[in-house]
């Protein structure tokens, strides 16, 4: 693998010992320069021995150890401005100004068709338990390529939390290298020589698989979950197979899952119906009774709900003639609040009822309060004080004890195939929604998020991430819950996905 240590000179500053890997896109090197100098890649002119570096291919740009690389370009804030500061309205601000004015989080720079990776990271970042586990990850623990990917993701989370644009660019470059080492097919090249676009769902799966190996579970009375991923993302299905062609005893088994699939057919117009259809389907398998393949009715019921429910819209199918994963553009509505009670086994439904009843009582009380114009002074004094109830079963930390979820992230795709187009993350936070389009982060409304259901060439929801709906009761005599041991948050902080 051709690697060189070069000297980067920008203005009066010289940065020796910068490692360059020419097996990677030149834009990755420009991201490293951005991390050092603060000069955005699009503002950089990078020259070595009279040859200017392009974004997509190295071409005649030849490097050697200790070569001098000249960088020309100014940071955005160095551009001369009018001496008198004028009032700026939000409508007139660019994305960078909006981020400063509205205290928006950092995004991740696109290193050449890496929007699939950036969108995946922004969605996973909305899970506080996962984010805290990554921030506390022991980077010296080894673990091969899975450990390197987990370490790189830990650095990326740290950069997104407290670092500037330069730190985020450097972390993104390191994460891309680790992702290529873990999954070499993500390093494939497009016909033009640049990095090929990849499937965000496959990236999500590969990252989660690595984290499943490297992040141990938080302490739980059951102790049955080995990793944070299994604890907070893992569910269980009770499966029954009944042969439709002969009378033989039903076969029952248990299956684990890290996400549910919503298959899109002509009849599926809503997420709930797509999930239901997958829970009851026909398959073909060998019948020992008949001694041949036979049709079986497969029925699945959820017996363990995870705190965070990932749903994939199965929007891509392989077209042999064009040799591409073509996209189904059909409009499939999804809700901001999801109730999966009907998908659960009778035993789990019974266990969910106590918390569901508490939600119902609170809703009834709110309706009664809104119908009454009377307000007593004690109620006014305590109306902002809330008592947070756990969203998990007492003996199963990381589960969901109500069946109620709130949408907290949407990963979308715009284009006609999974190997082209563009991916974007839309994430919820306490005071609204954000669109994370690589390094451009902008506020959006709930209505804009709900329009991501498909039906045209605009962004279509591909992956949904639902978090637990939190029950907040008016505080009376009890002290607020202490959540530190589970989520890593300070005492009294709500265990909410919208941290």
DSSP string, 31-95: HHHHHHH---GGG-EEEETTEEPPSS--TT----TT-EEEEE---GGGS---SSPPP--GGG--H
Helix 200-214 × helix 165-182 angle, to 10°: 90
Cα 327 to the center of its chain, rounded Å: 21
Span 10-26, average pLDDT: 87
What's residue 222's pLDDT? Answer: 66
Span 21-34, average pLDDT: 84
Q: Which of 123, 413, 422, 436 is catalytic?
A: 422
pTM of the model: 0.81
Rg of the chain on CA atoms, in Å: 26
Span 21-31, average pLDDT: 84
Whether the pLDDT of residue 379 is over 60: the answer is: no
CB 29 within 8 A of CB 47: no
Span 191-205, average pLDDT: 91
127 vs 102, higher pLDDT: 127
What's residue 312's pLDDT? Answer: 96
Distance of alpha carbon 26 from alpha carbon 365, whole angstroms: 60
Q: What is the pLDDT of residues 445-498, one digit of tens each?
A: 999 999 999 988 889 999 999 999 999 887 764 444 444 444 444 434 445 445
What's residue 95's pLDDT? Answer: 53
Q: Is 413 a catalytic residue?
A: no
Tokens 């690697």 locate to 3
CB 340 within 8 A of CB 403: yes
Q: Residues 50, 54, 60, 62: is their CA dihedral positive or negative? A: positive
What's residue 77's pLDDT? Answer: 55
Domains annotated for the chain, with CATH where assigned, are: 1-75 (3.10.20.90)
Which residue in 197, 33, 27, 23 sits closest to 115, CA to CA?
Answer: 197
**CB count, 10 Å around CB of 357?**
11
Residue 1: band (very low, low, confident or very high) from pLDDT cuts 50, 70, 90: low
**CB count, 10 Å around CB of 212?**
18
* Residue 110 CB contacts under 8 Å (≥ 6 apart), including other chains: 27, 118, 438, 439
What's residue 85's pLDDT? Answer: 45
Residues 9, 63, 113: CA angle, nearest 5 degrees? 90
Residue 193: band (very low, low, confident or very high) from pLDDT cuts 50, 70, 90: confident
Q: What is the pLDDT of residues 222-272, one digit of tens each?
A: 667 889 999 999 999 999 999 999 888 999 999 999 999 998 988 899 999
Lowest mean pLDDT among 102-111, 136-145, 351-360, 478-487: 478-487
The two three-digit tokens of residue 294, written as one number? 């036979």
Q: Is 459 a catalytic residue?
A: no
Residue 18: band (very low, low, confident or very high) from pLDDT cuts 50, 70, 90: confident
* Residue 334 CB contacts under 8 Å (≥ 6 apart), including other chains: 270, 271, 311, 407, 450, 453, 461, 464
Q: Which of 48, 115, 168, 344 is catalytic?
A: 115
Q: What is the pLDDT of residues 296-350, one digit of tens each?
A: 999 999 999 999 999 999 988 777 676 677 888 899 999 999 999 999 999 999 9
């Amino acid at each position: 693998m051709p690697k060189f240590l070069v000297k980067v000179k920008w203005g009066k500053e010289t940065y020796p010992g910068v490692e360059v890997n020419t097996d990677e896109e030149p834009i990755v090197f420009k991201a490293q320069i951005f991390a050092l100098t603060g000069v955005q890649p699009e503002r950089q002119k990078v020259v070595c021995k009279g040859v200017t570096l392009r974004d997509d291919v190295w071409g005649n740009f030849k490097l050697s150890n200790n070569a001098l690389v000249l960088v020309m370009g100014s940071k955005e804030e160095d551009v001369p401005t009018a001496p008198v500061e004028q009032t700026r309205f939000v409508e007139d601000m660019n994305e960078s100004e909006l981020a400063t004015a509205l205290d928006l989080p950092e995004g991740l720079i696109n290193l050449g068709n890496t929007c699939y990776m950036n969108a995946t990271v922004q969605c996973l970042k909305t899970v506080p338990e996962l984010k805290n586990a990554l921030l506390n990850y022991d980077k010296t623990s080894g673990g091969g390529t899975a450990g390197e990917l987990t370490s790189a993701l830990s650095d990326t989370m740290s950069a997104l939390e407290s670092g500037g644009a330069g730190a985020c660019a450097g972390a993104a470059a390191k994460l891309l290298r680790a992702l290529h080492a873990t999954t070499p097919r993500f390093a494939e090249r497009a016909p033009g020589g640049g990095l090929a676009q990849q499937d965000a769902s496959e990236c999500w799966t590969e990252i989660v698989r690595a984290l499943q190996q490297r992040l141990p579970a938080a302490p739980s009375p059951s102790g049955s979950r080995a990793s944070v991923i299994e604890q907070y993302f893992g569910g269980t299905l009770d499966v029954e197979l009944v042969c439709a062609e002969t009378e033989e005893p039903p076969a029952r088994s248990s299956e684990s899952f890290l996400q549910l699939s919503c298959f899109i057919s002509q009849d599926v117009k809503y997420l709930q119906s797509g999930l239901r259809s997958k829970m009851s389907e026909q398959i073909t398998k060998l019948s020992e009774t008949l001694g041949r393949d036979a049709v079986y009715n497969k029925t699945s019921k959820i017996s363990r709900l995870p705190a965070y429910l990932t749903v994939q819209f199965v929007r891509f199918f392989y077209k042999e003639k064009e040799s591409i994963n073509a996209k189904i553009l059909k409009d499939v509505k999804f809700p901001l609040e999801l109730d999966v009670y009907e998908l659960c086994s009778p035993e789990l439904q019974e266990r969910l009822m106590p918390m569901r009843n508490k939600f119902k009582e609170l809703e009834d009380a709110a309706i009664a309060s809104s119908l009454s114009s009377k307000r007593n002074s004690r109620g006014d004094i305590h109306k902002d004080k809330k008592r947070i109830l756990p969203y998990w079963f007492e003996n199963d930390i990381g589960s969901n004890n109500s069946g109620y979820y709130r949408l907290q992230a949407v990963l979308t795709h715009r284009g006609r195939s999974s190997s082209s187009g563009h991916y974007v993350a839309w994430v919820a936070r306490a005071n609204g929604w954000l669109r994370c389009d690589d390094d451009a982060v902008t506020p959006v409304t709930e209505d804009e998020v709900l329009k991501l259901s498909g039906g045209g060439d605009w962004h279509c929801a591909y992956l949904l991430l639902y978090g637990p709906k939190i029950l907040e009761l008016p505080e009376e005599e009890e002290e607020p819950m202490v959540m530190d041991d589970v989520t890593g948050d300070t005492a009294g902080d709500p265990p909410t996905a919208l941290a």
